[in-house]
A and B are shown apart, each in its own frame.
Chain A
Amino acid sequence: MEALVASAVGVMTAAGIFLILRRRTFPVILGLSLITYAVNVFLFATGRLALNAPAVLNKYEDVAYTDPLPQALVLTAIVISFGMTAVIVMIALSAYLSSKDDHIDMKPDDSVDAPGEDA
């Protein structure tokens, strides 16, 4: 089981990194989503894996529990990552609509703040 989780994390990380190194906005967004999955699973797995042992207390019998702390952290991370994805999507979209260009790299002449400007 551990090997499956670890290899899945590895594959998702590799694919995510490959995609964020592309030069258009959309693959970068996809790459970030994949890395988000990988990171969330990674963090979750630091609590070690357990089967049929949720972090809900059982008052009738003594049972093994899973580690609740990484779960709580990952839960908020999932929701926050939605916010992050949404912001990035919106930035990518605004940039594309304004310039009709979805390259992530600025060309040298796109520079906004020309040097030597002094108040």
Chain B
Amino acid sequence: MSLFLIAALPFLGAVFPALLIRAGRNAAASAAGLTTFLALMGLLIHIPSVMRGEVITARFDWIPILGLNANFMLDGLGFLFALLILGIGLLIILYARFYLSREDPMGQFYTYLLLFQGAMVGIVLSDNILLLLIFWELTSLSSFLLIGYWKHLPEGRQGARMALAVTGSGGLAMIAGMLILGNIVGSYDLSVILQNKELIQASPYYLPALILILLGCFTKSAQFPFHFWLPHAMAAPTPVSAYLHSATMVKAGLFLMARMWPVLAGTDAWFYIVATTGLITMLIGAVIALFKDDLKALLAFSTVSHLGLITMLLGFGTKFAAVAAVFHIINHATFKAALFMTAGIVDHETGTRDIKKLGGLRHLMPITFTIGTIAALSMAGLPPLNGFLSKEMMLEETVHTTWLNSHYLVPVLAVVAALFSAAYSFRFVSHVFLGPQRDSYPSKPHDPPVGLWIAPSLLVVLVVLIGLYSAAIVGPLVAVVSSAVIGGEKLPYYSLKLWHGFTPALYMSVIATLGGLFLLSLHSHAERLWNALPRPEAKVIFEAIINALTRLSHWITDELHNGVISRYAIILIAFTVALGYYAFSTGGMGLPTRVPLPAQIIPIIGWICLVGATLAIMWFHRNRLLSLVLIGVVGLIVSMAFNYLSAPDLALTQISVEVVTMILLLLSLNFLPTDTPWDSTAGRRWRDAAISVVAGIGSGALIYAIMLRDFAFPTISDFHLANSYKGGGGTNVVNVILVDFRGFDTFGEIIVLGIAALIIFALTEAVLGSNVRAYLLNRKPHWPQSGDSHPLMMVVATRVMMPIALMVGAYIFFRGHNQPGGGFIAGLIVAIAFLMQYMASGYTWAIERQRFYYHGTIGWGVLIAAATGIGAWFNERPFLTSDFGYINWPPLEEFEWATAILFDTGVFLAVLGAVMLALDSLSRFAWQPGMAQEFPMDINPLRDSPPEDDKEKEQG
């Protein structure tokens, strides 16, 4: 099966449980199980080639220029992890089906679980580190959902947030580290990076990259001092803990360290950072685990300890240690998942996870007792179970390790950790299952149904078999994985067997086991001592840090973002002006190379109108109606200027936009105060005026300088002029650019326009749904209203003009490709034709005749444009490639037909819909009860006299 499919299957399958839960919980669970099973089978097909040591790859170059490729590879290491993820995933799905209660939303659970599974499989199969990072963050997100699955529990929510904060921020650090690494090598492909050990280790950026990547690994794998999130994540349902926190997610950090081992390991920095962290974590985790009364907390800290063990082995940087690490990853996954499931069963059947309330369960739950004991003894490192084998290898390796010239430090601490590890494992067995039977269990314990114990018992069978026949069962796998970890070099000598003779490791093991038993017998004394010791509570520290950060960001936000918008504006403008001045004073400028065009009399008149109107707006801006009239003058002159300066398309667009903008502003002025009072002090006005004048001079001088000089670089416009007809089939280059060359831009723009119109609609709905509606209904207009609000002449004229206006719209639309015009302008013209009906005949009259919703118009516009673009795919061209041809229908002249016109239709509809929706929404504010009876050409005698308050004003 293709690697793409293996990685994609869980994601595809994630849809089904959420849907199938309506068909029952078995259907949801089967769908999840089947997906996982398929992916697992797809993986297993590759066994022969993986075992031969081949690397299977699947490449898809997505954005090669950024080095972002969807490349997957499957080697021994990836295979092992994928096997763990999918294999244990399958068991977990089975277990969860029986574990979750009727009240839990099971469809959601399996969907989250599959999302997580897909992300994990993605991590271990990625051949591109950018892709890997994406999957890495996906695991943080999906595990957040899983840990917080029981939303009603505050511990669940807090634990989920903590896990996300810690692993997410580690992930951010890792992104930086990976980018540095990719930069050193010049490629983001893992297979390339792994070939460049010397280059990477010689780089001055090796250490920063190493530290950043390790931050990601350590947070994910709960290494000291980031270990605290893992126990809090235990608030999750047990299947989640068993899956995420034993077999998969916490191993992602280990996976990455193993993956990067060939290029990052072997330096002093690596040894001291990784091995030391691992050693400390192993020790601390083991000690804390012994004193935890919550079964899952005990297992959580033991997981922390074992992860530390593997980290330490990877940190040693020797090949033998790498082999031991690989072997322990396999072993830990098997016994720890089984232990978590056992803890879940105990919790499920007795109603408590508190060790102090348990004990004597061996006769009540014999099956669970057997499973739990074997797994726990493996964790303690007793022969002939698999935990013993890898622990022996670990102890063996510590004997050969010197830490800052000390030969004893590492072995002694490792034995201490192993001793505590044995002690808590024995405690798990003796304080839960052994001892006298009690009558005080919260519910009557008995063995669970087969569905719950089958999954852990399968794992326990593995634990025993791997212990007894390790070389036969996992020997080849360990060999192929280890050789992948150490970068394909020759494997060191090792043997996976129970009896190595009387080696130092054996003595150390014996000391640890006997010491563990002894420690457990003193447990009650040790516990008193432990409780008397002061020790930092990680959760309190974490929350203090988070609260301090929250306060800091609140403070910064409140200081910067205090709601005084005019302050933001002045800061922005002053800064921009200063930046412009800086650029001007430090940059150079050549001499003018273009001859200025002569100014004729008509442009000078236009200029006088424009400047006069602009200055008048500043002067009279307190009179809002007058300033609207003046801004209309500015708009008209601008559109005439476009026309004069060889831009007919712009002139047409500007003048039609001008009309709709004016209508919009007039409508809004209906509801706003009619004039602006004096607010600012004179000093403030002078300051604002000074800034404005400087900014105005700056922008004017800049454009003046640009216009008098030729292009500094060859312009791409010549390409458009040369290819417009040949490639786009149109002679109006501006339109061909819009619908063809830069069609993607236009596509985005019509979407933006549609969104803007929808925002306006939504705002209107919100405002009209609030108590503002009552105010609007009883509102008295500012100005006296005409009794003849829909005059005869205007009604008749607009209705006669309607077909003509539509005809003009169609004409402008169809000529667009070759002459000035096109979808944008036609949309505006047709919108104006409709608006005229609204104005002349009234809103009520107009919407009664409206046969389609403007939302739909926008939607169809965007869809048509998109469909046209997608059509290009069927001809194996990129999105939005247009095609054209010539059609000859006698007796018509030969005419041209381009797919661009379909795209332009989309533009037309989107523009029309957006303009109409915006103005229609605004008009709804004006609706008042009396209007329902209002018809075109009616005369309302009540409106002949101006409103009361105006009369008073006139008199007063």
Contacts and interface: CB of A to CB of B under 8 A. Distances in A.
B938 interface: no
Interface string A29-56: 1100110011011101111111111111
A19 B708 CA distance: 30
A2 to B, nearest CB: 4
Contacts of A21: 566, 569-570, 573, 688, 691-692
A43 to B, nearest CB: 9
Which of the four size classes fits the interface of chain B? Answer: 35 or more
B621 A30 contact: yes
Interface in A42-96: 42, 44-59, 65-69, 71-72, 74-76, 78-87, 89-94, 96
A55 B717 CA distance: 10
B837 to A, nearest CB: 20
Q: Which one of A24, A52, A72, A81 has the highest number of Cβ atoms from chain B below 10 Å of its Cβ?
A: A72
B688 to A, nearest CB: 4
Contacts of B890: none
B597 interface: yes
A50 to B, nearest CB: 5
Nearest to A74: B650
A102 B818 CA distance: 47
Contacts of A82: 657, 660-661, 915
B725 A57 contact: yes
B657 A78 contact: yes
B671 A68 contact: no
A15 B695 CA distance: 10
Interface string B597-628: 11100011001001100110110010010011
B180 to A, nearest CB: 35
Interface string B626-662: 0110010011001001101111111001100100110
A10 to B, nearest CB: 2
Contact of B646 (A15, A26, A50, A72): A50
B742 interface: yes
Given A3-B704, A22-B680, A104-B565, A11 B614 contact: yes
Nearest to B711: A48
Given A19-B618, A68-B720, A111-B558, A75 B731 contact: no
Contact of A72 (B677, B703, B742, B772): B742
By size class, the interface of chain A is 35 or more
Contact of B611 (A11, A13, A24, A57): A11
B500 interface: no
Contact of B672 (A9, A26, A115): A26
A51 B646 contact: yes
A119 to B, nearest CB: 8
B906 to A, nearest CB: 14
A29 to B, nearest CB: 7
A98 B770 contact: yes
Interface of chain A, helix or strand or loop or mixed?
Answer: helix
A68 B547 CA distance: 56
B449 interface: no
Contact of B647 (A9, A19, A66, A76): A66
A71 B628 CA distance: 26
A78 B942 CA distance: 42
Contacts of A118: 547, 550
B914 interface: yes
Contacts of B689: 18
Question: Which residue, A14, A82, A86, A91, has most C-beta atoms of chain B within 10 A?
Answer: A86
Contacts of B641: 5, 8, 41
Interface string B740-758: 0010011001001100110
A64 to B, nearest CB: 9
Contacts of A11: 610-611, 614-615, 696, 700
Interface of B: 547, 550-551, 554-555, 558, 562-567, 569-570, 573, 594, 596-599, 603-604, 607, 610-611, 614-615, 617-618, 621, 624, 627-628, 631, 634-635, 638, 641-642, 644-650, 653-654, 657, 660-661, 664-665, 668-669, 671-673, 676-677, 679-680, 688-689, 691-693, 695-697, 699-701, 703-704, 706-708, 710, 715-717, 720-721, 724-725, 731-734, 737-738, 742, 745-746, 749, 752-753, 756-757, 759-760, 763-764, 766-767, 770, 772, 775-776, 818-820, 824, 828, 911, 914-915, 918-919, 921-922, 925
Interface of A: 1-27, 29-30, 33-34, 37-38, 40-42, 44-59, 65-69, 71-72, 74-76, 78-87, 89-94, 96-98, 102-108, 110-111, 115-116, 118
24 contacts: A1-B596, A4-B607, A8-B610, A8-B611, A14-B696, A15-B618, A26-B672, A33-B661, A37-B635, A41-B641, A59-B725, A71-B649, A79-B653, A82-B657, A82-B661, A90-B760, A90-B921, A97-B776, A102-B672, A104-B565, A105-B563, A105-B564, A105-B565, A115-B551
